[in-house]
Structure 1
Amino acid sequence: MKRSSSMEIRNKLIEFPTSPQPAFGEEITHYSHSKHPLTEVTISELFRCSGCKEYGAGKRFACQQCDFQLHEFCAVSPPLLQSHPLHGQHQLVFHSKPKPGGISWPRCDVCGKSTKGFTFRCRACNFQMHPCCAMLSTEINLPVHPHNLKLLPPAGEHGLGNTCGECKKKRSGRMYRCSVCDYHIHAVCAKNHINGLQANGINAAPERPSALGTAARFASQVVIEFVGGLIEGLGEGMGEVIVQNIARGRCTSIRRRRRVSE
């Protein structure tokens, strides 16, 4: 990556479609966006990293000419991680593209979320994690809790067995635990203190709707509109007969399933 002097950056006019005045920093040329330079800026608004596809806020490297932005840790990620505390037995290699999988995205072994962009992957086993998760360790201190937090083993019993003190939910992924007061927090919630969300007043990253859920809702709407148009074309009387037959068919199907289960 090529860096230029901060004095040259301050003399450039950079405009962002946001209300706060960004703080300018140094400039780099990143291989994932080689056509334009990226400038280090600090803006409090939420953004989605073009590298790891995860959310962030605050400091970032942004393109002045297009909507390309990287977390700071994504922009400066090393090509290799040796003896990382979350996977010290093997070397981890940085990849700019996600690991090819089946119909669903592969998941991070730390936070449990999908890996859709930049990842660190192990060549010896199937372990992989986001660059943001690579900023975590086996022990962390967070401003939301007064005691030291230790990472629990990746056993399934710890994944869904405890309620997170941050989001108040149970979910998959690694968890941290306080041995003093039995406080638990998901790794995915802990990294919101690393990616800039908590520091900029954003409690959690927005949940993106799944493609299957969106497709199902779209298909249901198409069926409803089709039946509605059919009823309108046939007339009210014939339409009522069709609706009654559909409802009767659903009831028959339900009764059949009940008989099978009995």
Structure 2
Amino acid sequence: MHPQLKSSASMGNNKNSIIEFPTSPQPVIVEEITHYTHAKHPLIKVNLPEVFTCTGCKEYGSGKRFACQQCDFQLHEFCASSPPILQNHPLHGQHQLVFHAKPKQGKAGISWPKCDVCNKTTKGFIFRCRACSFQMHPCCAMLSTERNFPVHPHTLKLLPPTNTSSSGTDTGILCGECKKMRSGRLYRCKVCDYHLHAVCAKNFINGLQGIPPPEKPSKFGKTAQVATQVVIEFVGDLFEGFGETIADYLLQNIGRGRRIRRSRTVNN
């Protein structure tokens, strides 16, 4: 018998006796969805500090997300709940915006179109206007013309695009968050001279505020590495019939040359 039950039962004749039961564990409510872009497995809502790449919009995020427990599939919370159509959106109220799971490919497959709010490339989930060329990320769709951010005590107002054809022109205004000048839409304080890039404002939505995103590997470095590996494998196959001594000597010299070049780069 549970010790608490035993001591309480000994006072059975006492009208004020209380039988104490062990506290039952509270049920854990797990939010689970099935997303049409990943119908083979359910997605569970989790909150993790690690930075991840959203499989939907292809952008980074941290914190809340819907993740598959069987494969590496993760969606921002707002990407998982994106509606099929946005009507009267504050950033593009003149036309309705339609959700697309796949972006529009760039010309000749070389370049990707850019978001008209943050000016970053659109490689995944996107809201696109059928009447004009306007498009924006699901994360940018969470922004509005006026908003409060924890980084500044006053309400910030989104300034109009710098030109009518694209928002990609450098504004020449220093952002109070990243301390840089860059392209894209810009928020401005109505009280003081504080500015915030829309691309920096997104970090308060996708969980990256104060967290530097992972550095993307250099395309040139990756290409050179693959090319060197191909040469090494070719030389190894070429001298396979001539004995291990010659092949090992050449491979060692190729590796030593790579180390010398790397050392010179660091010293410079």
Q: TM-score, normalised by structure 2?
A: 0.69
Relative to 1, partners in 2 of residues 1:95 and 1:221: Cα closer, same or farther, differing over 3 Å? closer
Query: C-alpha distance in 1, partners of 2:88/2:212?
Result: 30
Which of 194, 200, 205 aligns to 2:213? It is 205
The equivalent of 2:90 in structure 1 is 85
Q: Report the secondary structure of 1:191's partner residue.
A: helix
3-state SS of the aligned residue for 1:88? coil
Which residue in 1 is equivalent to 2:206?
195
| 1:168 aligned onto 2:166 | no
**Which amino acid in structure 2 is aligned with residue 138 of structure 1?**
T
For the 8 Å contact 1:159–1:174, the answer to whether it is kept is no
Q: Of 185, 188, 192, which aligns to 1:177?
A: 188
| CA pair 216-204 structure 1, distance change in 2 beyond 3 A | closer
> Hey, what does 1:249 align to over in structure 2?
none
- 1:159–1:175: 8 Å Cα contact kept in structure 2? no
Task: Please say if 1:108 is aligned against 2:119.
Answer: no
For residue 64 of structure 1, the aligned residue among 69, 74, 84 is 69
Q: Does 1:143 align with 2:150?
A: yes
Q: What pairs up with 1:1-262 in 2 under 5 angstroms?
A: 10=28, 25-102=30-107, 103-155=110-162, 159-198=170-209, 202-209=210-217, 214-215=219-220, 218-219=223-224
- Residues 207 and 127 of structure 1, relative CA distance in 2, 3 Å threshold: farther
Structure with the greater alpha carbon radius of gyration: 2
**Residue 165 of structure 1, CA deviation:** 0.7
Shift of 1:60: 0.6
Mapped contact 1:42–1:58 kept (Cα < 8 A): yes
Q: In the superposition, relative to structure 1, how do residues 75 and 222 fare at CA in structure 2: closer, same or farther (>3 Å)?
A: closer
Tell me, in whole angstroms, the C-alpha distance in 1 between the residues paired with 2:30 and 2:62. 16
Secondary structure in structure 1 of the residue aligned to 2:30:
strand
Task: Specify every segment of 5 or more residues in structure 1 that has no aligned partner in the other structure, as ranges.
Answer: 1-8, 11-23, 234-262
**For residues 159 and 125 of structure 1, what CA distance do their matches in structure 2 show?**
23
Amino acid at match of 2:94: Q
Percent of aligned pairs with the same amino acid: 69
The one-character-per-residue Cα deviations of 1:135-167 (angstroms, maximum 9, x if unpaired) are 000011000100110001111597431011111
Residue identity opposite 1:115 in structure 2: T
Give TM-score scaled by structure 1 length.
Answer: 0.70
User: Unpaired runs of 5+ in structure 2?
Assistant: 1-26, 236-248, 251-268
The residue type paired with residue 113 of structure 1 is K
* Structure-2 residue corresponding to 1:260: none
CA contact (8 A) 1:56 1:71 kept: yes
CA RMSD of aligned residues (A): 2.5
Q: Secondary structure at the match of 2:31?
A: strand
CA distance in 2 between partners of 1:216 and 1:55 (Å): 22
**CA–CA distance in structure 1, aligned partners of residues 204 and 221 of structure 2:** 35
Q: Tell me, what secondary structure is at the counterpart of 2:202?
A: helix
Q: Give, as a single letter, the amino acid of the residue that structure 2 aligns with 1:204.
A: P
How far apart, CA to CA, are the structure 2 residues paired with 1:184 and 1:40? Answer: 34
Q: CA distance change for structure 1 residues 90 and 219 in 2, over 3 Å: closer, same or farther?
A: same
Q: Offset of 1:68 from its aligned partner?
A: 0.3
Aligned counterparts of 1:89 and 1:207: Cα–Cα separation in 2 = 37
Deviation (angstroms), 1:219: 4.8
